């Protein structure tokens, strides 16, 4: 037993010695690496600043482009920091057809997610719709959220109309699984506004009751497309609570003509979550013709509906104020309490509620 303990103690001492060596050597390694990077960066920036449109690409830039996709990305970022557009540098000639671009394609299929992420980032600067669409689509479908998010950011920057269908495909099957990806997907699609609306209408027509509805409805909220209203009205009568809540939010966000009527009817929904969102949306639209409905909602059994109805009335200005002040504690104590609370809020607090 003592021999075993002795051997273990020796192993332990060896590992400790190794750790101390790492601890002592690490600051030196960090300094050397940082100094090398700073030197490369300085040389690169000098090359960029001395570059003139039509000149042959600088040797330093060419050398960096030839090293790795990450270095290439870094070089391109420095080009932009230097105040030049990548087109000025004739990047097609510089990078396409060189080993560097081949490495980018390999990086997009690498087993390491960070290399695929770099490829997605590079495409934002080098991508061409006719040749790189399928590469970008494969990155959009990447299982690692950091890669697919980077690809979504690239898609947003590129804004290729040919990406609408693949992006809407991503919304199918319940939509992207992470909050970040879903937000990016919506933003990317809203940047392609004109091309998205017809495709979205046809998908909404085909997906009643399907899991992807929620994501499609959220996307619809960012497009102020009048022709979407009939589809949204249909969802306001849907059996699923989540779908109705999202439909109300979407109607409020899109704010198309006829939205107020749809929202007023949503104030009668049996679910308090739907009524709360409807009151909130009416406030955001400053719908004066809904003042009477909002006043009735001050007596809603749900605290949240009463709060949102009172805040919506406060946003209507003088007519809303009068309705709030006219609540009678003798008639409905809850409504009067809420009206008193909202009337007592200062403007800064109201702005905070409106966020």
Partner 1 sequence: MTDLLVRAVELSNPLLLWYFGFLNLFYGVLFGLSVFETWKHWVLSSRLHATERLPDEAFPPVSVIVPAYNEEPVIVTAVEALLDLDYPRHQVVAVNDASTDGTLETLKERFDLYQVPPAFPAVLDTAPVRDYYRSRTDPNLLVIDKMEGEHAGKAGAMNVGLNACRYPYCVTVDADTVVEPTALRRMARAFLLSEKRVVGTGGSIRVANGVRFDRGTPVDASVPNDLLAGLQVPEYFRAFLFGRLGWNRLGGNLLISGAFGLYEKQMLVESGGFKEDSITEDLELTVSMHRHMRESGESYDLPFVPDPVAWTQVPDSVSVLGNQRERWHRGLLASVFRHLRMFGNPRYGLAGLVAFPYYVLGEMMAPVLEVVGIGVIAAGLWLDVLSVDYALLFFGLAYGYQMLLTVASVVLEQLTFRVYQDVRQYLKLILLAVIEPFGYRQLTTWWRLKAFGTFLRDVGGWGEMVRTGFEETAGGE
Q: Which residues would be at the binding site for partner 1 (CB under 8 A)?
A: 1-2, 5-6, 8-9, 12-13, 15-16, 19-20, 22-23, 26-27, 30, 114, 117, 121, 145-146, 149-150, 153, 177-180, 182-184, 187, 303-304, 307, 337-338, 340-341, 344-346, 348-349, 351-352, 355
Output 136 or 287, the one with its CB closest to partner 1.
Answer: 136
Residue tagged 């059996």 (tokens): 239
Output 24 or 257, the one with its CB closest to partner 1.
Answer: 24
Output 19 or 56, the one with its CB closest to partner 1.
Answer: 19
Q: How far apart are CA 98 and CA 160, in angstroms?
A: 25
Q: Of 226, 145, 231, 152, which Cα lies nearest the Cα of 192?
A: 152
Minimal distance, residue 193 CB to partner 1, in Å: 16
Find the angle CA(73)-CA(45)-CA(30) to the nearest 5 degrees. 70
Output 26 or 49, the one with its CB closest to partner 1.
Answer: 26
Output 90 or 187, the one with its CB closest to partner 1.
Answer: 187
26: CB partners within 8 A, 6+ apart? none
Tell me which DSSP letter residue 289 carries.
G
Minimal distance, residue 288 CB to partner 1, in Å: 25
Output 260 or 327, the one with its CB closest to partner 1.
Answer: 327
Minimal distance, residue 129 CB to partner 1, in Å: 22
Minimal distance, residue 270 CB to partner 1, in Å: 19
Question: For residues 180 and 150, is the Cβ–Cβ distance under 8 A?
Answer: no
Output 262 or 298, the one with its CB closest to partner 1.
Answer: 298
Minimal distance, residue 179 CB to partner 1, in Å: 5
163: CB partners within 8 A, 6+ apart? 133, 136, 137, 140, 155, 188, 192
Question: For residues 265 and 234, is the Cβ–Cβ distance under 8 A?
Answer: no
Q: How far apart are CA 167 and CA 97, in angstroms?
A: 29
Minimal distance, residue 355 CB to partner 1, in Å: 6
Minimal distance, residue 46 CB to partner 1, in Å: 26
Output 28 or 257, the one with its CB closest to partner 1.
Answer: 28
Distances (CA, A) of 5 to 11, 13, 18, 74: 10, 12, 20, 51
Minimal distance, residue 8 CB to partner 1, in Å: 6
SS (HEC) of 63-120 = HHHCCCHHHHHHHHHHHHHCCCCHHHHCHHHHHCCCHHHHHHHHHHCCCCHHHHHHHH
Minimal distance, residue 49 CB to partner 1, in Å: 25
Identify the three-state secondary structure at position 237: coil
Output 12 or 92, the one with its CB closest to partner 1.
Answer: 12
Largest CA distance in the chain: 90
Burial 61-98 (b: 16+ CB within 10 A, else e): bbebbbebbbbbbbbbebbeebebeeeebebeebbeee
């Amino acid at each position: 037993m003592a021999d075993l303990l002795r051997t273990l103690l020796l192993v332990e001492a060896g590992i400790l010695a190794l750790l101390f060596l790492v601890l002592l050597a690490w600051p030196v390694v960090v300094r050397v690496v940082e100094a090398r990077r700073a030197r490369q960066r300085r040389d690169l920036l000098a090359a960029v600043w001395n570059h003139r449109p039509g000149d042959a690409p600088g040797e330093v830039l060419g050398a960096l482009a030839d090293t790795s996709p990450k270095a290439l990305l870094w070089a391109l970022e420095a080009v932009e920091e230097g105040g030049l557009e990548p087109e000025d540098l004739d990047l097609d000639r510089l990078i396409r057809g060189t080993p560097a671009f081949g490495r980018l394609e390999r990086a997009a299929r690498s087993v390491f997610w960070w290399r695929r992420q770099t490829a997605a980032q590079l495409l934002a600067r080098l991508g061409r719709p006719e040749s790189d669409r399928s590469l970008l689509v494969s990155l959009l479908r990447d299982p690692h959220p950091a890669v697919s998010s980077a690809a979504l950011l690239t898609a947003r920057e590129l804004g290729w109309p040919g990406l609408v269908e693949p992006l809407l495909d991503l919304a199918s099957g319940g939509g992207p699984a992470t909050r970040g990806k879903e937000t990016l997907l919506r933003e990317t699609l809203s940047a392609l506004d004109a091309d998205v609306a017809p495709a979205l209408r046809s998908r909404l027509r085909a997906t009643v009751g399907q899991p992807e509805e929620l994501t499609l409805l959220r996307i619809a909220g960012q497009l102020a497309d009048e022709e979407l209203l009939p589809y949204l009205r249909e969802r306001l009568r849907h059996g699923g609570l989540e779908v109705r809540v999202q439909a109300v939010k979407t109607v409020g966000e899109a704010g198309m003509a006829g939205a107020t009527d749809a929202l007023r009817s949503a104030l009668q929904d049996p679910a308090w979550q739907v009524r709360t969102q409807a009151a909130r949306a009416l406030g955001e639209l400053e719908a004066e013709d809904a003042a009477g409905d909002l006043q009735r909602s001050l007596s809603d059994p749900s605290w949240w509906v009463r709060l949102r109805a009172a805040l919506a009335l406060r946003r209507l200005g003088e007519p809303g104020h009068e309705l709030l002040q006219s609540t009678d504690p003798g008639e409905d104590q809850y409504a009067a309490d809420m009206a008193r609370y909202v009337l007592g809020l200062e403007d800064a607090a109201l702005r905070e509620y409106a966020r």
